[in-house]
């Protein structure tokens, strides 16, 4: 098993000017180690290896709740869209993550560390054509934390979707579900 480059990134919990198009172009075409460690350096190395060896590449983004995994994945997708000069460059990361609000409602919950914590993993596969331009993507989710449905620790919540459904209980299209207020349904709404 070969392990490639490892980058440790820390979420500063604020916007930094190190992810714009100028920085993307600065890292494009550079060799790993020629510039400061950056998510764009990792993306560039994967992109070059894909083009040079004509083999699939993987980038694993891992971390604790609130570490910035989704944002790092977004930056990586934007990098690929920009350097590949994809004709559908109109924010490919927005298109790939367009399902996120639904995914987050069903799979995110409030924890003691994060008000919108993913309780599942995501696998995003980006497809390139023969000239290494993005032609599509697929996102899969896995490992949903099922125990949260029946039990939440103190100061934590169930999945957002349950509260959203309860908030819509009086809507005519949901009457057949016989929903009540979240406190009545023992969802510990906070």
CATH of the domain at 140: 3.40.850.10
Answer yes or no: is 67 a known binding residue: yes
Residues 67 and 154 in one domain: no
Same domain? For 169 and 185 the reply is yes
Check pLDDT > 60 for residue 13: yes
Q: Are residues 177 and 88 in the same domain?
A: no
Instruction: Please give the structure tokens belonging to residue 157.
Output: 């919540």
Q: Would the annotation count 136 as a binding residue? A: no
Shared domain check, 168 and 83: no
Q: Quick one: what percent of the chain has pLDDT higher than 90? A: 31
The verdict on whether residue 33 carries a ligand-binding annotation is no
Q: Are 135 and 84 in contact (CB under 8 A)?
A: no
> Is pLDDT above 50 for 185?
no
Label residues 78-107 b or e (16+ Cβ within 10 Å = b): bbbbbbbebeeeeebbeebbeebeebbebb
In sequence order, the 6+-apart residues with CB closer than 8 A to the CB of 57 are 46, 47, 49, 50
Domain of 75, in residue numbers: 2-144
pLDDT at site 60? 92
Number of domains in the chain: 2
125 assigned ligand-binding residue: no
In this structure, the answer to whether residues 139 and 166 fall within a common structural domain is: no
The gap between the terminal CA atoms of the chain, to the nearest Å, is 46
CA atoms lying within 13 Å on the CB side of residue 124 = 22
Q: How far apart are CA 60 and CA 37, in angstroms?
A: 16
Q: Is 63 annotated as a binding residue?
A: yes
Residue 190 has pLDDT above 50, yes or no: no
* Shared-domain flag, residues 88 and 162: no
- Which is higher by pLDDT, 58 or 118? 58
Task: Please give the structure tokens belonging to residue 14.
Answer: 């604020």
Q: Environment class of residue 28 by beta-carbon count within 10 Å: exposed (0-12), middle (13-18) or buried (19+)?
A: middle
Mean pLDDT for the chain overall? 84
68 annotated among ligand-binding-site residues: yes
The answer to whether 70 is a known ligand-binding residue is: yes
184 assigned ligand-binding residue:
no
Write down the pLDDT at residue 188: 43
pLDDT in tens, 35-56: 999 999 999 999 999 999 999 9
**Does residue 87 carry a pLDDT above 70?**
no
User: Residues 109, 159: one domain?
Assistant: no
Per-residue pLDDT band at 81 (split at 50, 70, 90): confident
Least confident of 27-31, 41-45, 154-158: 154-158
Sign (positive/negative) of CA torsion 20, 34, 46, 63?
Answer: negative
Domain ends where: 107, 129, 144? 144
Local structure of 124: helix, strand or coil: strand
> Is the same domain home to 35 and 93?
yes
Assess contact for 63 and 69: CB atoms under 8 A.
Answer: yes
Residues 174 and 116 in one domain: no
Residues 17 and 38 in one domain: yes
**Within this chain, do residues 114 and 130 fall inside the same structural domain, yes or no?**
yes
Same domain, 116 and 171: no
Per-residue confidence at 112, pLDDT binned at 50, 70, 90? confident
The mean per-residue pLDDT over the stretch 46-68 comes to: 90
Distance, CA of 23 to chain centre: 21
**In the chain, % of residues over pLDDT 70:** 86
């Amino acid at each position: 098993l070969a392990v490639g480059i490892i980058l440790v990134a820390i979420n500063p919990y604020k916007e930094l000017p190190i992810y714009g198009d100028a920085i993307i172009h600065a890292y494009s075409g550079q060799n790993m180690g020629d510039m400061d460690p950056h998510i764009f350096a990792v993306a560039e190395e994967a992109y070059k290896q894909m083009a040079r060896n004509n083999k699939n590449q993987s980038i694993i983004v891992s971390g604790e709740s609130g570490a910035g995994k989704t944002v790092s994945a977004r930056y990586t997708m934007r990098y690929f869209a920009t350097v590949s000069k994809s004709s559908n460059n109109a924010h490919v990361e927005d298109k790939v993550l367009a399902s996120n609000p639904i995914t987050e409602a069903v799979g995110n919950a409030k924890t003691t560390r994060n008000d919108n914590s993913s309780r599942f993993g995501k696998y995003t596969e980006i497809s390139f054509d023969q000239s290494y331009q993005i032609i599509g993507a697929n996102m899969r989710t896995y490992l949903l934390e099922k125990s949260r449905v029946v039990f939440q620790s103190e100061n934590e919540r169930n999945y957002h979707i349950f509260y959203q459904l309860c908030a819509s209980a009086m809507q005519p299209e949901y009457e057949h579900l016989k929903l009540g207020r979240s406190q009545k349904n023992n969802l510990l709404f906070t």
